[in-house]
Amino acid sequence: QLQLQESGPGLVKPSETLSLTCTVSAGSISSRSFYWGWIRQPPGKGLEWVGSFFYSGTTYYNPSLKSRVTISVDTSKNQFSLNLSSVTAADTAVYFCARHSEGPFDLWGQGALVTVSS
């Protein structure tokens, strides 16, 4: 069963860059027809799509975050990463990585809480 696991610092200082990595096991991120994405959820609030990449290499970002977000891929390690620059307290959230198609996000990581605070 394919699994996803987020990892990275749980605390980031304001104005710095948030970096998270999603490791995919028991499956390949190079699989055709899938997107691999990041979704975040501020404490007590709803889900917000952050961005995704398609197996072909095309990346897509939430327009509200686009100027600060980069998603990169390391196929040799079966990992993909999220970088969010110039963070503020509003970026405090649980960050999920997930696999999806045009429709559903069918496989999710357990989530990683990232707090932005000095």
Task: By CB under 8 A, name the binding residues for other proteins.
Answer: 35, 37, 39, 46-49, 52, 60-63, 66, 96, 100, 102-106, 108-111
**CB of 109 or CB of 116, closer to other proteins:** 109
Residue 29 Rama label (left phi>0; alpha psi -120 to 50; beta): alpha
Q: Please, which residues bridge with residue 73 across strands?
A: 80
Our CA angle for 66, 59, 100, nearest 5°, is: 110
Provide, rounded to whole angstroms, the least separation between the CB of residue 87 and other proteins. Answer: 21
Residues 76, 67: Cα–Cα separation, whole Å:
27
Q: C-alpha distances in angstroms, 107 versus 36, 51, 56, 57? A: 10, 16, 19, 20
CB of 107 to other proteins, least distance (A): 9
Of 1 and 118, which has the nearer Cβ to other proteins? 1
Report the residue number, 63 or 88, with the smaller CB distance to other proteins.
Answer: 63
What's the min distance (Å) between Cβ of 5 and other proteins?
A: 11
- What's the closest the beta carbon of residue 60 comes to other proteins, in angstroms? 4
15 or 101: CB nearest other proteins: 101
Which of 44, 49, 46, 117 is closest to 87 using CA atoms? 117
